[in-house]
A and B are shown apart, each in its own frame.
Chain A
Amino acid sequence: MAGIRRLKEKLINAVLIFLLAVVFLVVSYISYQSLLRIDTDEAWVIHSYQVSTNIGVLLSDLENMETSDRGYIIAGQDIFLEPYNTALPKIYPEFQSLQELTKDNSAEQQRLSLMKPLIDERLAEFQTNLALRRDKGLDAAIAAVSAGTGKETMDAIRTIVADMQTDEASLLQARTQDLTQVNHSMESTIVWGAIIGLLLYLLVNYVISKFVMGNLVEKPLLERERQALFYARSLIEASLDPLVTISPEGKITDVNEAVTKVTEVPRGELIGTDFSEYFTEPQKARDGYEQAFKFGTVTDYPLTIKSKTGRLTDVLYNASVYKNEEDKILGVFAAARDYTLAKKAMEETAKANKEMEAFSYSVSHDLRAPLRAIDGFTQILVEDYGAKLDDEGRRVASIIRASTVQMGHLIDDLLSFSRLGRQEVKKSPVDMRSLVGEVYAEIKKSVPARKIDFTVKELPSANADVNMMRVVWTNLLSNAVKFTGKKENAIIEVGSTSDNNEITYYVKDNGAGFDMKYMDKLFGVFQRLHSVEEFEGTGVGLANVKRVVERHGGRAWAEAKVGEGATFYFTLPKA
């Protein structure tokens, strides 16, 4: 199919170019012919001039001879014969060449043939006269001349010559006219030829570009474009997310199938209407796309679509502006993502968190009261009945009291651990350096007597929840302080390293350390690697650290050597 079309196009192409060539050839041919005619005409013009001139020369030679002849007759001196002698040998050759020249002209040939005998006669007469003068003298010659027909002959020759001249003149005129005509016609031929040629060239060009080229290039291009357009459109229609384009005036300019489904409004009725009409909060919708126009994009913008029958759909909108080739904003392209499930999940999580909160509150409150009673009344026992107790009795009482205190700590720690898990992570730039200083100062206050070599190295600020970071540093630093408690010269160092993606902070101490084989347990809730007698604590501190750090997208780990110290690391992502 395409092949035949191509052939047709090639044929048309060829024909048109052929026509152009033909025009060119025709013009060339006509021009050539005209040139030839001009040549010929020019030749004939020259010819006429030549004939005319030659006739003139012949006549003048004859007249010279006559004059010379008469002169000799009168004077009788040879000097007068010079012109006669010069001219005489020329007469017949001139006559012959005339004959030659006028070969084509029968009229002229006739005249010449009439002229010949006359010339012969005159020349003879000249001879006779000359001889008479020479021989017989002046009087005899004059008598011969007066009696002779010389003058009549000469007149007759003159008449013929005049006729011939007239003839040639009219021939010349005719030929000159013809020459002019040919010149003109050639000029106009060339001009017209050029015009026609140019027009034909333009025509060929036009035809080629419109039909031939169009056929060759446009049709397949259109086909490909159509296919691409169809593909793009089918994707848009296939999308399950409602997709819509909004004009700068806030009117819907295009929708896909999903939009008609979620709004229960047919496509035709949607186009041209206000985008905000289809939401439970129209102003919020308007604010949304205005934001998109202003900032270029808007992401995860929550709205609720209201269908014709009142059915509500919670969605999140992602929208961005789109532009034409001149970078002018044409509108906003908005895609809605069904948010119902996510919203429900979030609501349930919030609800669960609230319940946890209430639960923790009452648990902590209700658990503490009896603890206090145990502690308090044991104390009363010791105070009021201490005299009746022996050492053992008092020891038992103190164990009871210590246990209740321990339980109190556990409750506190559990509560804070749970709260940290539920709390929202509120990120902001945190000056880690000053935070560490603050926390350490607070810890040091509770152990004023201790001598600790505390250094803080480079600590870049982090993007994190400042309260949670306080918990992390409090736990790590108080651990370092606690576990170096038995060392004479406690050394604690805080520093960091960083790479492209994250910052690694560390707290290094030269304290008790731990056996690396228990590393996994280290960060577990209530997991301890030492007894309460060795080092007090509930074992929830590191679990808190791990939880906080993981909620920020980082990790926590440690390295240690028993008796030599430990280094605790945690990372925070840079973004």
Chain B
Amino acid sequence: MENNTNINEVDVLMVEDSPNDAELIARALSKLNIANKIFWVKDGAEALEFVFCTGKYAARNAVTYPKVILLDLKLPKVNGLEVLAKIKTDERTRAIPVVIVTSSQEDKDLKEAYKLGANSYIVKPIDAENFVKALSEAGLYWLAINKPPIIKL
């Protein structure tokens, strides 16, 4: 899956290490008839660089923010909960809606994610059909129904 979205026009930041899952999510979201430019990063470190405009994404315009971040928990380099923590403790970024999308049904992950300030927690269904359904519904909600915060720098 190629990232052909302009980094300054990202609606959905997808932080997902599995290409298959990433593809399925993207597919689900693309079926929605709403504007949703997806940007995909494969690990936690890259996610943080994107959000805070550092490293690889130093050139990104700090003023613009994704409408929603879809965050997996099991990520290489920096894991999902750490990314969540960093986003939610920083004044500049804490308002961005973060939706955890993970296969973990573990109570402790659930508790920790909400404690750190996750806006929503979705467990990836086993079967693709439900998976696609869930992501579509979530995408519809966060991108169309929910009003994104106006984040000022």
Contacts and interface: CB of A to CB of B under 8 A. Distances in A.
B18 interface: yes
Contacts of B106: 361
Q: Kindly list the 5 A-B residue pairs having the minimum CB-CB distance in the complex, ordered from nearest.
A: A408-B126, A376-B128, A373-B20, A375-B128, A376-B24
Interface stretch (A188-196, A364-372, A482-490, A546-554): A364-372
Size class of the A contact interface (CB-based, 8 Å): 20 to 34
24 contacts: A364-B104, A365-B74, A368-B124, A368-B126, A369-B20, A370-B20, A372-B21, A372-B124, A372-B125, A372-B126, A372-B131, A373-B18, A373-B20, A373-B21, A375-B129, A376-B20, A376-B23, A376-B24, A376-B131, A377-B20, A377-B128, A380-B27, A401-B129, A404-B126
Contacts of A408: 126-127
Contacts of A371: 126
A372 B131 CA distance: 8
Interface in B51-96: 74
A372 B128 contact: yes
Contacts of A375: 126-129, 131
Given A379-B129, A404-B127, A368 B103 contact: yes
Given A364-B105, A365-B104, A375-B126, 10 more contacts: A361-B106, A364-B104, A371-B126, A372-B126, A375-B131, A376-B128, A376-B131, A379-B128, A404-B126, A409-B126
Interface string B90-115: 00000000000001111000000000
A405 interface: yes
Contacts, number: 60
B38 interface: no
Nearest to A380: B27
B132 interface: yes
Interface in B115-140: 124-129, 131-132
Contacts of B124: 368, 372
Interface string A510-541: 00000000000000000000000000000000
Interface string B20-41: 1101100100000000000000
A250 B131 CA distance: 66
Interface in A344-379: 361, 364-365, 368-373, 375-379
A361 B104 contact: yes
Contact of A405 (B23, B74, B126): B126
Interface in A239-267: none
Contacts of A373: 18, 20-21, 24
Interface of B: 18, 20-21, 23-24, 27, 74, 103-106, 124-129, 131-132
B104 A376 contact: no
A488 B90 CA distance: 62
B123 to A, nearest CB: 10
Interface of A: 361, 364-365, 368-373, 375-380, 401, 404-405, 408-409, 412
B30 to A, nearest CB: 12
A373 B124 CA distance: 11
A406 to B, nearest CB: 10
Nearest to B123: A368
Contacts of B126: 368, 371-372, 375, 404-405, 408-409, 412
A372 B104 contact: no
A368 B23 CA distance: 16
Contacts of A376: 20, 23-24, 128, 131-132
B24 A369 contact: no
B70 to A, nearest CB: 15
A379 B129 CA distance: 8
A375 B42 CA distance: 22
Nearest to A407: B126
Nearest to B102: A365
A62 B60 CA distance: 185
B125 to A, nearest CB: 8
A352 B52 CA distance: 40
Given A376-B20, A376-B24, A369 B103 contact: yes
Nearest to B125: A372
A379 B125 CA distance: 14
A408 B125 CA distance: 9
A412 B105 CA distance: 10
A377 B131 CA distance: 12
A362 to B, nearest CB: 8
A372 B20 contact: yes
Contacts of B27: 380
A404 B125 CA distance: 12
B103 A364 contact: yes
A408 B126 CA distance: 6
A125 to B, nearest CB: 164
A134 to B, nearest CB: 171
Most buried by A among B23, B24, B126: B126
A391 to B, nearest CB: 20
Contacts of A369: 18, 20-21, 103
Nearest to B18: A369
Contacts of B105: 364
Contact of B127 (A365, A380, A405): A405
Most buried by B among A361, A376, A412: A376
A469 B153 CA distance: 53
